[in-house]
Structure 1
């Protein structure tokens, strides 16, 4: 207890340790389909699907994967927004013994090609409006098969009839794809295949279930290998933390994207494991969310600060009944105290801050939902999770209130990085995960994040890696030097700022740089601010000092605040 002072804070209802069931992630869908066959598992824009229907669809797709030659351990990419097809695809891949590679639908061709090549994905499940992008990178990857679906297949009448017109208006195209060659239609697969169970031997501790792509201090995206044990453990910890939630009865608002590990664990996995109904939302729209909350009455609402801020800033929020919401854990970025307080006033539910990383499936810490909560703290470690602060100088454990690097250990910590043993060894040491975040612990056992040792920018809940943006800007013929940092933003938390040094006799405008970067980067990574300089701060050996630029921004903000 002396080493883990936070355990004395646990209420009686939360266990200090959990007995984890040694079975694959997909086994929980099998169980829920038996326990709640006719219960609604999914709600999507007016149409619902039962657990039995979800289970049978996932099995049909798994059998088709096997026909395509998918073997245990092969990688299957899923490039979809939150839709019934994304859930079917995820569990279908796991039933086939494959490793699921969740892929951001916002990725450009460049980003998509990199991820597919790095993962060695054999099959990709995607939407018709994303098909042209996937088709263009096919030859540059190991992809052998594309399975295509359309949103309208899971829409109720008359939305399914109107969808092509809406698609043409919003995306400018309607793609007509045939079930032939290396391209298959999910609708045809689910019509023709049989829902035959597939017998496979799983190693609970060693078998990788998903590759969750993240970025490191080098800015190169890496595949985090999360095992069945990692994911099952974190979902069970989440269930233990939300101890007032009733099995088979809760309704979860699923706006967090499933290609983000936080959405995958706290919405997708937890809901299927506990027999909860998921309300799938393919994108964030404040008005649509307010209407959905009022009509569908969700009780659990995992989210990110920008989502809660977006709802609170809607001018008509008072006109909606949000009283069904009972508990929310906010992740992905720091949660402002005023946002927490106002959201609780509006809904009557509880909103608390948590902490995690892709490398830990993701949650390691959270505030108590119904007990004492500490403002500005990420809370305490979850059951079976150990945590301490290490000195930046010699790596020794630090006493309370001293700032150092936060390290964590537990059954949710990753197996390692995909095909990157050296980088794995840098962050995983004797089972301890080095987070790269600067933090301290108080005397009671509450943890506080002070700063990020890494240069990651967190904007709108997304992790953005400066080097990736810098490499794109360096390709512009007018750019000589560039440095990218995150600067404070009232809505996104941080936004991307690029410092540019131009080549002699070259000129370029903000608008031209904006158009250039949008060709190669997802919209949320594109710099919002450009500053042109004659030179950038550097070390003696010529390395650009991002940290100096960050300090300059911080000092400028402080000067402005004093003048106000």
Structure 2
């Protein structure tokens, strides 16, 4: 039965159904330490001051050194005029600066906005305008794009940093020469409002700055479209993020505090990578092995050399490793536990990866609005193929009827809704949309699910039209709006279609204006000027008309069915 879980000594029937499947080492209910995220890092730095916190392409940093830099950066922000509650944007790949900037901004009492470095001007400008961010920390290679984007925003200060800032000799020199030869040398004019990262750290004090931050204050504005629509800022508090981190610590109960090494290739600008990579590492005193982007060769070399024990990722990452032509040349046996998210994990991928490493690969489920993890397959206990697993501790779950909203108690498919300490405060400046998905503390996920008689949950379908390609959320409406701006396009609809590598990929169905005949290359070039690369349609089908209802609404489902029938006929 799937009805609300009652916290306390008594358990509901639904909780009992998964209680019996719970690993005995994991508590159904926990006592949480209500501390800020920056306090979490401070405590780890005091407990493990000489333990390695970060490894980055040969560069090493201890937890004490990291905490000192975090304090320096927090004080630098205060010196710039940042006040508690101000929004600070971080637009960086996984590198030491990202970790320092994230915890430093929180230590200063600011609200962090994590932004994808792949964003084009239009996408970046939208987030900056919506969040009201006052400071941006950004990669120097993005200087021209960013300086143009901030012209119509509230950004007052810009801090530029480069990958070379933390590369050891001679890698720093080689990197600089390579960028120069490729014509990527930044042309930045530094002044009182445009700063060098290394300079502001050198000037900053290591004396800890302690604002009056409350654990219920917003720590992170993480932009997402939810399940569809224009990106919205999800307000995640210190409590939300920290609770989800503690839930995951409990789930990884074999974790050895102070001795783990986490391979962090999942982008920190996504909340999945932020929580399961950065914050989990800090919570257990683990070493973060940072890679700025996914590259199969680099991943294999890093595992072989750095010996990570944990490797959170996406199915596409594990697929790439399994199918790498030189995978047998590397020793992957250090990997003990992997959590896969962002898309369904095929059984054959799980089995092949576990055979390669000898470790455990399990699937989890979550969404940005839940910090993000709500369910996970037990890592060292009973597993079920195709399932997203069991709810994390203190996570209440219902499956409700789509028409009546009543709890489903007979195993039928319905909408999955969740409640727990990791669930967001709401959407930034969007009270109406908040009310739509957050009702009496219950988060309506928009995903169709069912629960079996042992309490394992399964995602059957998506209620909305969100596309997840290679772990990235893509919102059809955004891509469609860009296509509609093209002078040759009359109508356009975007769908996610199956892809053996990315899970899903973007397909556009287009009706052209009379007399117009743009090439596929022309449309692709146009999209690249408006969208991040992962959002660009990989397949385009031209049509004379699109299937519609009597009222004129495009029948997305009809297009999906036609695509499935075509694929089946070719099989």
Normalising by structure 1, report the TM-score.
0.98
Deviates further, 217-226 or 274-283 = 217-226
Contact 2:22-2:390 at 8 Å conserved across structures = no
Contact 2:124-2:149 at 8 Å conserved across structures = yes
2:539 aligns to what?
Answer: 529
Matched ranges for 1:443-458 at <5 A? 443-458=453-468
Q: 2:88 aligns with which of 76, 86, 108?
A: 76
2:438 aligns to what?
Answer: 428
Displacement of 1:37 in angstroms is 1.2
2:549 aligns to what?
Answer: 539
Q: 2:145 aligns with which of 99, 111, 133?
A: 133
1:162 aligns to what?
Answer: 174
1:373 aligns to what?
Answer: 383
SS in 1 for 2:292: coil
Matched ranges for 1:103-118 at <5 A? 103-118=115-130
Matched ranges for 1:241-390 at <5 A? 241-390=251-400
2:53 aligns to what?
Answer: 41
Structure 1 gaps, min length 5:
none
Matched ranges for 1:168-187 at <5 A? 168-169=180-181, 172-187=183-198
1:164-200 C-alpha deviation (Å, 9 max, x unpaired): 1222345x32014354131011100111211121122
SS in 1 for 2:411: coil
For the pair 1:193 / 2:174, whether they are aligned, the reply is: no
Displacement of 1:252 in angstroms is 0.2
1:208 aligns to what?
Answer: 218
Contact 2:228-2:464 at 8 Å conserved across structures = no
1:233-274 C-alpha deviation (Å, 9 max, x unpaired): 100010000000111110000000001101000110011111
For the pair 1:396 / 2:406, whether they are aligned, the reply is: yes
Contact 2:128-2:150 at 8 Å conserved across structures = no
Contact 2:76-2:203 at 8 Å conserved across structures = no
In 1, Cα distance between the equivalents of 2:284 and 2:226? 33
For the pair 1:11 / 2:23, whether they are aligned, the reply is: yes
SS in 2 for 1:519: helix
Structure 2 gaps, min length 5:
1-10
1:192-216 C-alpha deviation (Å, 9 max, x unpaired): 2111211222221x20010111013
1:86 aligns to what?
Answer: 98
For the pair 1:234 / 2:234, whether they are aligned, the reply is: no
SS in 1 for 2:40: helix
Contact 1:330-1:353 at 8 Å conserved across structures = yes
In 2, Cα distance between the equivalents of 1:534 and 1:211? 42
Q: 2:112 aligns with which of 75, 89, 100?
A: 100
Contact 2:313-2:340 at 8 Å conserved across structures = yes
In 1, Cα distance between the equivalents of 2:166 and 2:557? 48
Which one has more relative contact order, counting CA pairs under 8 Å at least 6 apart? 2
1:23 aligns to what?
Answer: 35
SS in 2 for 1:64: helix
SS in 2 for 1:538: coil
Displacement of 1:102 in angstroms is 0.3
Q: 1:479 aligns with which of 477, 489, 492?
A: 489
Displacement of 1:217 in angstroms is 4.7
Displacement of 1:321 in angstroms is 0.2
SS in 1 for 2:517: coil
In 1, Cα distance between the equivalents of 2:358 and 2:89? 39
SS in 2 for 1:9: coil
SS in 1 for 2:20: helix
2:568 aligns to what?
Answer: 558
In 2, Cα distance between the equivalents of 1:108 and 1:550? 29
In 2, Cα distance between the equivalents of 1:529 and 1:179? 43
SS in 2 for 1:383: coil
Contact 1:59-1:196 at 8 Å conserved across structures = yes
Contact 1:400-1:440 at 8 Å conserved across structures = no
SS in 1 for 2:148: helix
SS in 2 for 1:548: helix
Are residues 246 and 123 of structure 1, via their aligned partners in 2, closer, same or farther at CA, if it must alter by over 3 Å?
A: same
Contact 1:400-1:442 at 8 Å conserved across structures = no
1:67 aligns to what?
Answer: 79
Displacement of 1:218 in angstroms is 4.6
In 1, Cα distance between the equivalents of 2:296 and 2:317? 8
In 2, Cα distance between the equivalents of 1:66 and 1:448? 47
SS in 2 for 1:531: strand
Are residues 178 and 273 of structure 1, via their aligned partners in 2, closer, same or farther at CA, if it must alter by over 3 Å?
A: farther
In 2, Cα distance between the equivalents of 1:349 and 1:166? 37
Deviates further, 532-541 or 338-347 = 532-541
SS in 2 for 1:346: helix
